Structure 1
Amino acid sequence: MSDNLLTLEGVHTHIGAYHILHGVDLQVPRGQLTMLLGRNGAGKTTTLRTIMGLWQASQGRVTFNGADITKKHTPQIAQLNIAYVPENMGIFADLTVKENMLLAARQARTAAQIDTQRLAWIFKLFPAVEKFWNYPAGKLSGGQKQMLAVSRAIVEPRELLIVDEPSKGLAPAIINNMIDAFQQLKASGVTILLVEQNINFAKRLGDHVAVMDDGRVVHAGSMQALAEDAALQQRLLGLSL
């Protein structure tokens, strides 16, 4: 079995008349947390949406667990035990927290049928989800909505978790809570791919890193090596960790 759970080879994506991805090569090692970094407009979100089939690759190949998923539709990809948390979180504002969770729990028809042990684990990771269980999701704060979005993605066991900017707009205390949650998820064996702009978040969590620029991956390696190389950081990201 390959050490990489997810692989992109020469992936191009067009959106209308715009050519966004220009041959993305990306490896997501099994059981590790991979950070996808890059300046705004580098193509990070488009890469995630292409993996999930929300936008179709016009060239190249996406492979998950050794199977070609390039032409699969989003529901088929989700059924492969891949969960995706978009940047806008995708919360159903008019539904309660419980109802949002139930929609994601495909094996349950009522909240009582959701795996109680897993739910208890999620409540321990994100106490706000339990506290506001019967509360309209649209009334939650930004940080609470992000916690709900991640909780919904992991309400059933997933092999791959893909999250777009989980720390965006969050207070430092909530970011620390989110870091702890992802560390526990990784320890449980989940493979994680994160897009991040918060470099401290990336440095504390990442095992592997890929840096994008102008629709391509321009650097890949260990997160620790990038964190310790100020000159490389400056060249790739225009900043120092």
Structure 2
Amino acid sequence: MSSLLSLQGVHTHIGAYHILHGVDLEVPAGQLTMLLGRNGAGKTTTLRSIMGLWQASQGQVLFDGQPIQALATPEIAQRDIAYVPENMGIFGDLTVRENLLLAARRARSLKELDTTRLDWLFSLFPALKKFWLYPAGKLSGGQKQMLAIARALIEPRRLLLIDEPSKGLAPAIILNLIAALKELKATDTTVLLVEQNFMVAKALGDRVAVMDNGRVVHAGAMAELAADEALQQRLLGLSLAAHQ
């Protein structure tokens, strides 16, 4: 199974703090890989290190076999890698339309947007069409999250990094989000998804990597972890069955 993204012995320091302690991670092409772990395990730091927002101090980040750890964030993004941060990163004073247009690097005006792709995004997230001219800051939490993901997908991406998309959302909105991400999976987009909601992890994950104390301590099929409550307890301190 070929990996589109590979981290090899990645260390990251933030100021005086040593956060990642030699992360080894493989993200297979065309699959959705879950990145799980307790709070403070290093999951967000891993995503930010991949994007160059925090520079890896040691080790390699390989994308399609090429090292990218020394590149600036805009150069990494130009390789068709998109990042949806936990804080969503949308512009609240701009409309939904303006947010999407701003994210489309190849379009300078609405007329230059790929209408076929825009219609696909509307099929994934119908609320975006309904609130097309609304300021993004007035959307609900779930709608803001959908806009954040749509911004990352307004142009074709080879790799999508998403940090805790279900955090703070109502259960019904989480189900809608799962449905949309399942449709995204069907397009063979490669996704690395950080998540704390284990119902989401079980529903979406092909592969899983579990982090603890700045390292990957387990990697394998998501279905195998979902079926092994003893392993869940050992790695995560809880059971997926409690999150059905």
Is the TM value for this pair above 0.5? Answer: yes
2:97 paired with 1:98: yes
Q: Could you tell me how far 1:205 is from its partner in structure 2?
A: 0.4
1:122-157 Cα offsets, whole Å, 9 max, x none, are 001101111111111111111110000000100001
Partners of 1:177 and 1:108 lie apart in 2 by 29
Consecutive unaligned residues of structure 1, counting only runs of 5 or more, are none
- Aligned to 2:83, the other structure's residue is in SS state strand
Q: Which residue of 2 aligns with 1:191?
A: 190
Q: Could you tell me how far 1:112 is from its partner in structure 2?
A: 2.1
Q: Which residue of 1 aligns with 2:177?
A: 178
Q: Which residue of 1 aligns with 2:205?
A: 206
Partners of 2:172 and 2:124 lie apart in 1 by 13
Q: Structure 2 length normalisation: TM-score?
A: 0.97
Runs of 4+ in structure 1 deviating by more than 2 angstroms, as ranges, are none
Q: Could you tell me how far 1:186 is from its partner in structure 2?
A: 1.3
- Aligned to 1:167, the other structure's residue is in SS state coil
After TM superposition, the structure 1 stretch with the greater mean CA deviation from structure 2, 8-17 or 106-115, is 106-115
The aligned runs of 1:96-135 (5 Å cut-off) are 96-135=95-134
After TM superposition, the structure 1 stretch with the greater mean CA deviation from structure 2, 30-39 or 169-178, is 169-178
Partners of 2:201 and 2:158 lie apart in 1 by 21
- Quote the RMSD (CA, aligned, Å): 0.7
Partners of 1:50 and 1:97 lie apart in 2 by 29
Q: Which residue of 2 aligns with 1:221?
A: 220
Consecutive unaligned residues of structure 2, counting only runs of 5 or more, are none
Percent identity between matched residues is 73
Q: Structure 1 length normalisation: TM-score?
A: 0.98
| One-letter identity of the residue aligned with 1:150 | I
Aligned length: 240
Q: Which residue of 2 aligns with 1:50?
A: 49
| One-letter identity of the residue aligned with 2:9 | G
Q: Which residue of 2 aligns with 1:63?
A: 62
Q: Could you tell me how far 1:108 is from its partner in structure 2?
A: 0.8
2:23 paired with 1:24: yes
